[in-house]
């Protein structure tokens, strides 16, 4: 039975420090001043929650971080966690018009963190305008992850009474349980749960659909139901030896650091991470930080086809994570004690480009990170009549989240198959607004504090300004 590598406390603390530390006030203002305050800004379009990014950045430049936080949280109640976990290079910062400058794009994510941090000590609730008067309608939200929180917060602000059913003892979903520790501390996510609760949302913990509650029961008790169930645990490899001690799921591995002191998190000396997605990269970097001497990412595809974001892969490589491409795991093999001791690769898997060690990697830990399958809800007797997509996601109208069952809505990973936190928040919020319309017959008031430059559409804001059509066909100055 191998023992985990032991790092001294100082090294461990340094390894687990946030990789992207907060900006100080002066740096934040200097970066904010680089924002051009674009009209019809492409960053807003690139943000699934359509935060009015130029407006909040201008407020930082104007020494008004409180106002900046108000703008952010009005559009995205999880603005603090999204500031840390959003793949900003792929979203807002990837659309920033100054990204071609030597200094790169405006660091929107870090500025968003600066603004939300600025109000974290006080009650962010006080920033938001009072909720609408109670409508007397009750809505159940199943799942307390980003989609459920996004939905619950918007419903509460619109005056509805909301109960969130969460199967775990704590809400926040992957933000609380599964995000790499060096990207975000779980306290940030829990503070967001508290913010949603401060809007009047009730949380019932230990409640799981199909175990303690059923959809028909919820439909009876509530005027509408939102399903934000997320995905199931990690997909299994389906190879011999998968159940050996030392073979773990990536999300369970990432959660360990929240369950015990970092020094006590089990990690191998030589770790194979199977998978090429962002979770695999998170797990690999995490294992490295916890003291693993070697971490090898075993990827089915080649370096150009990895599912992980290029930035993440580059960081992992820079930190010393190794990669084996075009490889297919064949078996996990035990040592005499029965603990995993090697990962055998399939020599027949073309093109079988393999490392110097041949087809057997001597490892004492294998982390499985080949994606999360749908929650396995299709055909579940507690969700009678609900339609699913062929791959097992809950079928819903992407604009509204409406499922085939009237009054039942869905969003987040359980409906989109697994996307970013910010997509889940956006889908939850959109569903909330559709639920409001269903319950009241009214288009909900726009709660986003926008600079009057447009409205939301399905996947972000629509064209904010129609091409100018002269009223008189000519100059009218």
Partner 1 sequence: MADLAINLAGIRSPNPFWVASGPPSNTAYQAHRAFEAGWGGLVWKTIGDPIVNVSSRYGAWHAGGARLQGFTNIELISDRAVDTNFRELTEVKRRWPDRAVIASLMVDTRARWHEFVRRAADAGADGIELNFGCPHGMCERGMGSAVGQEPAVAERIVGWVMEAATIPVIVKLTPNITDITVAARAARAGGADAISLINTISSIVHVDLDALGPLPAVAGAGTPGGYSGPAVRPVALKMVQSCAADPAVGLPISGMGGVAQWRDAAEFLALGATSVQVCTAIMHHGFRIITDLLEGLNDYLDAHGLASVGELTGRALPAVRKWEHLDLRERRVARIDYARCIGCNLCHIACEDGAHQSIDLVPPGDRGPGPGRPPGKPIPQVREADCVGCNLCSLVCPVADCITMTTRPADGPPLTWAGYQADLAAGRIEPLPPHS
CB 465 to partner 1: min, Å: 6
Closer to partner 1 at the Cβ: 47 or 281?
47
Rg (CA), the chain: 24
Binds partner 1 (CB under 8 A): choice among 18, 37, 212, 442: 37
CB 34 to partner 1: min, Å: 9
First to last CA, the chain: 82
Q: Which stretch binds partner 1 (CB under 8 A): 95-103, 159-167, 272-280, 389-397?
A: 95-103
CB 460 to partner 1: min, Å: 11
Phi, psi (degrees; rounded to nearest 5) at 272: -100, 130
Closer to partner 1 at the Cβ: 34 or 344?
34
CB 60 to partner 1: min, Å: 12
Closer to partner 1 at the Cβ: 401 or 454?
454
- Of residues 438-477, those binding partner 1 (CB under 8 A): 463, 465-468, 470, 474-477
**Kind of pairing between the strands at 365-368 and 247-249:** parallel
Residue written as token pair 């230990």: 206
The binding track of 127-156 with respect to partner 1, each residue x by CB under 8 A or -, is ------------------------------
Does residue 42 touch partner 1 according to CB under 8 A?
Answer: yes
Closer to partner 1 at the Cβ: 65 or 150?
65
- Cβ-contact 164, 203 below 8 angstroms: yes
User: Which tokens go with 254?
Assistant: 């990432």
CB 422 to partner 1: min, Å: 18
Helix (H) or strand (E) holding 297: strand 294-298
- Cβ-contact 262, 178 below 8 angstroms: no
Quote the CA–CA distance of 64 and 141 in Å, as a whole number.
Answer: 34
Does residue 97 touch partner 1 according to CB under 8 A?
Answer: yes
CA angle, corner 474, sides to 470 and 477, nearest 5? 85
CB 105 to partner 1: min, Å: 11
Quote the CA–CA distance of 49 and 51 in Å, as a whole number.
Answer: 6
Does residue 104 touch partner 1 according to CB under 8 A?
Answer: no
Closer to partner 1 at the Cβ: 8 or 311?
311
User: Which tokens go with 338?
Assistant: 């029965």
Binds partner 1 (CB under 8 A): choice among 89, 98, 127, 190: 98
CB-based contacts of 222: which residues, under 8 Å, 6+ apart? 138, 139, 140, 163
CB 39 to partner 1: min, Å: 4
Closer to partner 1 at the Cβ: 98 or 349?
98
Quote the CA–CA distance of 105 and 127 in Å, as a whole number.
Answer: 28
Binds partner 1 (CB under 8 A): choice among 18, 30, 240, 337: 30
Does residue 406 touch partner 1 according to CB under 8 A?
Answer: no
User: Which tokens go with 258?
Assistant: 């929240």
CB 313 to partner 1: min, Å: 22
Binds partner 1 (CB under 8 A): choice among 61, 68, 75, 155: 61
Q: How far is CA 344 from CA 196, 242, 310, 328, in A?
A: 47, 12, 27, 9
**Kind of pairing between the strands at 322-324 and 360-362:** unpaired
Binds partner 1 (CB under 8 A): choice among 99, 185, 235, 317: 99
CB 124 to partner 1: min, Å: 24
Does residue 39 touch partner 1 according to CB under 8 A?
Answer: yes
Closer to partner 1 at the Cβ: 57 or 140?
57
Give me the residues paired with residue 297 across strands: 273, 323
Would you state the torsion angle of the CA atoms of residues 44, 50, 56, 57, taken in this order, to the nearest 10 degrees? -30
Quote the CA–CA distance of 107 and 112 in Å, as a whole number.
Answer: 9
Binds partner 1 (CB under 8 A): choice among 4, 20, 33, 168: 33
Quote the CA–CA distance of 283 and 275 in Å, as a whole number.
Answer: 10
CB 380 to partner 1: min, Å: 41
- By CB under 8 A, the count of residues binding partner 1 is 28
**Residues engaged in binding partner 1 (CB under 8 A):** 29-30, 33, 36-42, 45-46, 61, 95, 97-100, 463, 465-468, 470, 474-477
């Amino acid at each position: 039975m191998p023992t985990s590598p032991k790092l001294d406390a100082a090294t461990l603390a340094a390894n687990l420090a946030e990789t992207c530390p907060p900006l100080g006030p002066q740096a934040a203002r200097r970066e904010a001043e680089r924002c051009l305050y674009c009209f019809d800004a492409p960053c807003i379009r690139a943000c699934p929650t359509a935060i009015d990014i130029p407006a909040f950045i201008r407020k930082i430049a104007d020494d008004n971080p409180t106002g900046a936080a108000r703008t952010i949280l009005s559009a995205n109640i999880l603005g603090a966690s999204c500031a840390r976990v959003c793949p900003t290079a792929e979203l807002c910062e990837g659309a920033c018009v100054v990204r071609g400058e030597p200094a790169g794009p405006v660091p929107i994510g870090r500025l968003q963190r600066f603004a939300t941090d600025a109000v974290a000590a006080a009650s962010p609730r006080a920033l938001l305008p009072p909720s609408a008067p109670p409508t007397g309608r009750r809505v159940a939200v199943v799942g307390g992850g980003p989609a459920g929180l996004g939905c619950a917060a918007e419903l509460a602000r619109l005056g509805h009474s909301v109960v969130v059913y969460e199967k775990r003892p704590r809400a926040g979903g992957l933000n609380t349980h599964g995000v790499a520790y060096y990207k975000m501390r779980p306290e940030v996510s829990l503070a967001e749960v508290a913010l949603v609760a401060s809007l009047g949302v009730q949380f019932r913990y230990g409640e799981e659909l199909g175990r303690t509650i059923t959809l028909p029961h919820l439909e009876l008790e509530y005027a509408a139901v939102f399903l934000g169930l997320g995905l199931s645990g990690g997909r299994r490899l389906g190879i011999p030896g998968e159940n050996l001690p030392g073979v773990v799921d990536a999300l369970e591995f990432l959660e360990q650091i929240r369950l015990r002191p970092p020094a006590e998190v089990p990690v191998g000396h030589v770790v194979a991470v199977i998978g090429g997605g962002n979770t695999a990269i998170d797990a690999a970097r995490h294992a490295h930080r916890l003291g693993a001497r070697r971490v090898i990412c075993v990827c089915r595809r080649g370096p150009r086809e990895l599912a992980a974001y290029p930035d993440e892969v580059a960081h992992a490589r820079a930190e010393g994570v190794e990669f084996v491409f075009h490889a297919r795991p064949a078996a996990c093999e035990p040592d005499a004690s029965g603990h995993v001791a090697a990962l055998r690769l399939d020599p027949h898997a073309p093109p079988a480009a393999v490392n110097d060690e041949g087809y057997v990697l001597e490892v004492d830990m294998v982390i499985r990170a080949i994606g999360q399958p749908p929650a396995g809800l299709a055909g579940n007797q507690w969700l009678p009549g609900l339609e699913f997509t062929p791959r097992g996601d809950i079928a819903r109208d992407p604009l509204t989240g409406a499922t085939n069952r009237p009054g039942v809505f869905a969003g987040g990973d359980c409906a989109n198959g697994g996307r970013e936190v910010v997509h889940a928040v956006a889908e939850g919020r959109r569903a909330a607004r559709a639920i409001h319309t269903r319950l009241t017959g009214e288009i909900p008031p726009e709660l986003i504090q926008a600079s009057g430059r447009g409205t939301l559409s399905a996947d972000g804001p629509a064209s904010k300004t129609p091409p100018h059509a002269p009223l008189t066909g000519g100059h009218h100055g």
